[in-house]
Each structure stands twice: as structure tokens, then as C-alpha cells.
Structure 1
Amino acid sequence: MGLRIELSTDTVEGAVTADALGADRIELCSAGELGGLTPGPGLLAAVLARCRRSEVHVLVRPREGDFRYAPSEVDAMLADVRHAASAGAAGVVVGALTSRGALDRPVLADLVAAAEGLPVTVHRAVDVCEDPVAAVETLRSLGVARVLSSGGAARAEDGVPVLRRMVTAAGDELTVMACGGIRPHNARAIAEATGVRDLHAAPRRRLAPSGGAAVDYGTHAVLDEEVARKLVELARS
């Protein structure tokens, strides 16, 4: 079974590691511990300058929290999508919901148009929808390339039945990419149970504090290279 692996990272070093390992795609974001926010232009430029093997797809999310955006936030998202396209990204990752929790079709249509032909992935906003399976038809009609989903559950393992139905509904026009707790020990089983061929993971490990400073600014998480390597190797086996 051929699988494709997308690794999410919020650092240049993480992206370089994912690229060297041979990940099919990199989802580039900032503030990964907040679920990911739009990366700054400097981070994007540094990653694009260093990554040659993996496609770099840019998350466009202006803030943490829900996916119901004010018009001013939508304007910012459109500008970020256009910047990602002009900078040389291979795709963008977006999402928007209405006040009722449905996919915001007009906003998504504008975001797809702003991408100017780049592949668009809709992120886990779809898991908040009342019916993720029905949302697949909306995304197909908008020309979205992929949808990132855990089947409406916290973890893909718990969303297998819904993911399977989403794959069926997507047909050949839309790729369903499973996410949520994807690790080497369960990746193949999830793929076989659902029919997905694309898997998204954000394996991270927290660095130890450097110590010795008068003021403690804490530490940060980085891509877990060991887990990432095992996922890529699994996809190639």
C-alpha cells in the first residue's frame, strides 16, 4: 500500500529535517502548540530556500480559536494566501465556518480563487461541522484538492467509520488526508481501515530548558525526528 506522509512543523529546522527524510509534503505553520497559525514571510522564505524534495504547503490561520472569521480577518487570510502563492509555496491550507458551524462557502471560494491554481487543503475545521461527510460534497464543488480530517473525532483511530464514508464520498476528485494521533504504530491500520492514502502528523518533542538564566523564558517543541523518520519509512515500505 503506497502512502503519502505530510509532516507539520513550525520551525526552519523541522522543515529541513522533514525534507531530508523525504516527506511528501510539509505543512508549514507558526505556533504549532496553538494548533498552528500563519507563518511569517521570513519563516516561509527561509524554508522555501532550504527545502527541495518536499512540497511546502502553508497554513493560513490568522488566530487561535474557532474558525468563524470577521471580514477583516478574511481580508488578512486572502492576502496571506496570495503571498504564499507568489513566494513559491506548493499549496495552502485554509478553513472557515459560518456562525452555525457549517463550511463558509463564499469565504472558501474566495480563498480558492486567491490561491490562483495552487492546490488548496481544507483543515480540521471540517471536523467541527455537523456532518463531515456532507461537507465533502461542498469541498468537491469548490475545487478543493484535499481535506484534513480525523473523522469528526479527537483522534483518527476513533473516527474510522466517518473517515471511511468521507473517502467514499470524495471519489477521485478530492483527497481525504487522515490526521489526529497518527503515529508509526497505528498509521497503516488507519489507512487500511479507511482507505486513505494520505496521512498527516505533527510529531513533536519538547526541548529541555537551557538552565542558568536569571529569567526563565521556558522552552519550545521541535519536530520529533525519530517518529517522523519511522512514518516516512512506513510509507515507503
Structure 2
Amino acid sequence: MIRLELSVDTLAGAVAADALGADRVELCAAAVDGGLTPSRGVVARAVRGCHRAEVHVLIRPRGGDFTYTGDEVAAMVADIADAVEAGAAGVVTGALDAAGRVDRAVLRELVAAARGRPVTFHRAIDVSADPLAALAEVADLGVARVLTSGAATTAEAGAALIAEMVRQAPPGVAIMACGGIRPHNARAVLAATGVRDLHAAPRRPVRSAALGADRAGAVGQPGTVGQPGAVGQPGGAGQRVSFASGNPPAGYDRYELDEQAARELRAITAGPFRGTPVDGTPVAGAPFDPAG
């Protein structure tokens, strides 16, 4: 069985992901900004509402790069303590230095703050100077899981590097593929990479029912790539990776978990997988989704 993690940025999404059988819920805020740390209250309510799935909390104090000041690190440590106290099963975080290497001192502090809860190193690895070297470093510092698109905008485009990371990961460190994973391409990603963990953030636009929402404009198209906000030059990928959506929803509109896509992904990951796509046909790339 493949473990499925669903990324959500609302309480309703967390509860739905749990009901649909996700193994883990990655809980964040502001997915259109690539995901930020959710409030302690949201974490506590999500933990209470998830009866089966583990809740893993994103710890990211701001958008942009992953090189943090001392004050930002202190805030991240405090946020991890809050998440642990609220009942989170683990945290998702990461830090790089100005040269694009893993910031060992910061990551060591963040792992210690988790007090034994598993830490996932997020897609900062995709914009690191050398993702394979970064993998070895985060493993040495006690990270349990690495979230990666293979330094590309989608897991399909980065499949070769993801597969190499699977080969090089030491025992006890899981590689989790992300980046545009949807029901139409999940089997192909599994076949090409050999991962046993998939991370997806399928979303659907939701029109606001608020007074005056009819004047707020049309719902934007989810999962598109904006030109601004590219972060670093990923090692070996030959392209930039953006973590921010260039087309957030208009006015009061928002996105919610696409329950049908999540249901189909759970069916794919829950069944036997023998390492080949069902029909053997190539799968077209999916649009980049900032949260995976």
C-alpha cells in the first residue's frame, strides 16, 4: 500500500481528507502563497476533527525563500512547540543558507523543537544547490521524510531525480513525491520513481456565499504558474521552481479540497501496485500546484 498525504489549508479540507482515508494531512495556511504556518487554533481543531489521519503541520513563517533570520527561527521554534502541544503528529519545515545548502544549525534546532515527532523536510530541497547532498544532510540531522518534486515543477518532470533520491535515501528516511500529482498521473509517478509516499493537493474553486460576492469577480483557475516569485535555480533541473500561485481566487472566492480527486487517489494508493502504469501510456504533465 502507498501512503497518501493530502495537503489542505482549511479545517473543512482536513476533516474531508481524514474521512476520505488519507494517511496524513499536511495542514497549512495560505496555499496560494505556497503554504504558511497555520494558527494554533486551526491546528487544534484539525487534530480534533481528524480521527484516522495524522496531522502534520507546515512551519513556514513567510513566503519567499527559505533563508531565515534569528527572529524568524525563534518564531518557527515557538510554532513547532505550539503544534506539538496542540496534538500534531509531526511537522513539515526546512531551511537553507544563503548559498542554497541545508542550514544545519537551524534545522537541528527545528528538529529538536519537535520533541521526537517526525519532521518532513519540505520542497526547499527542490531549490537547494545540490538536492542529493541536501538529502544526505537532512537524513543526518534526523529528518524522517523528504518532500520533493525532483527539483522540477511537477513530479513527472523530476521523476529521474526522485528515483535517485529513493535509491540514495538511508534506512528510515522516506522520499515523498509531490508536484501536480492527480489521479490521471499518480500511477505513472509511482512507476517512474519507486516512492511509497505520495503528496497531493487537489483543489476545486468554491464561490463565496457571502453578501456581495456576486460583485467579487470570477473564480480563478487553480494550479497555474505565475511568472513572479521563482525561487532559486534548482540543482540539475534546468528550470526554476515557483512556490506561489500566480492566479489566486478573486474577491471572496477560495479553493477547497477536491474530494473526488482525493477519493480517486486513495483508491489508487490503497490497491496493489506492481510498478507499472495500468495502460502503459505516457501521461501528460499536470499544472504546477504550489502546495504539491
Give TM class, smaller chain. over 0.9
Q: What are the residue-to-residue correspondences of 1:46-195 with 2, within 5 Å? A: 46-195=45-194
Matched, 1:198 2:209: no
Give the counterpart letter for 2:119 in structure 1: V
8 Å Cα contact 2:148/2:178 also seen in 1: yes
- As a proportion of its length, which structure holds more helix? 1
Deviation at 1:192, TM superposition (A): 1.6
Over 3 Å counting, the alpha-carbon distance change for 1:211 and 1:62 in structure 2 is closer
8 Å Cα contact 2:148/2:175 also seen in 1: yes
SS at 1:158 equivalent: coil
SS at 2:157 equivalent: helix
What does residue 18 of structure 1 align with?
Answer: 17
Over 3 Å counting, the alpha-carbon distance change for 1:211 and 1:117 in structure 2 is closer
Looking at structure 2, the residues matched to 134 and 151 of structure 1 have their Cα atoms a distance apart, in angstroms, of 13
Identity of aligned pairs, percent? 56
What does residue 254 of structure 2 align with?
Answer: 220
Over 3 Å counting, the alpha-carbon distance change for 1:152 and 1:218 in structure 2 is same
Looking at structure 1, the residues matched to 26 and 168 of structure 2 have their Cα atoms a distance apart, in angstroms, of 25
Map Cα deviations across residues 43-102 of structure 1 (whole Å, 9 max, x no partner): 111111111100000000001111111110000000001111111100000011101111
Deviation at 1:171, TM superposition (A): 3.2
Q: Which moved more, 1:20-29 or 1:208-217?
A: 208-217
Looking at structure 2, the residues matched to 76 and 101 of structure 1 have their Cα atoms a distance apart, in angstroms, of 21
- Where structure 1 has 5 or more consecutive residues not aligned to the other structure, the ranges are none
What does residue 229 of structure 1 align with?
Answer: 263
Looking at structure 1, the residues matched to 114 and 209 of structure 2 have their Cα atoms a distance apart, in angstroms, of 41
RMSD between superposed Cα atoms in Å: 1.3
Number of residue pairs aligned between Structure 1 and Structure 2: 236
Scaled by the length of structure 2, the TM-score of the pair is 0.79
8 Å Cα contact 2:67/2:98 also seen in 1: yes
8 Å Cα contact 2:99/2:129 also seen in 1: no
SS at 2:180 equivalent: coil
What does residue 5 of structure 1 align with?
Answer: 4
Runs of 4 or more above 4 Å deviation: none
Looking at structure 2, the residues matched to 211 and 81 of structure 1 have their Cα atoms a distance apart, in angstroms, of 34
Scaled by the length of structure 1, the TM-score of the pair is 0.96
Looking at structure 1, the residues matched to 50 and 94 of structure 2 have their Cα atoms a distance apart, in angstroms, of 25
Give the counterpart letter for 1:223 in structure 2: L
Deviation at 1:211, TM superposition (A): 7.2
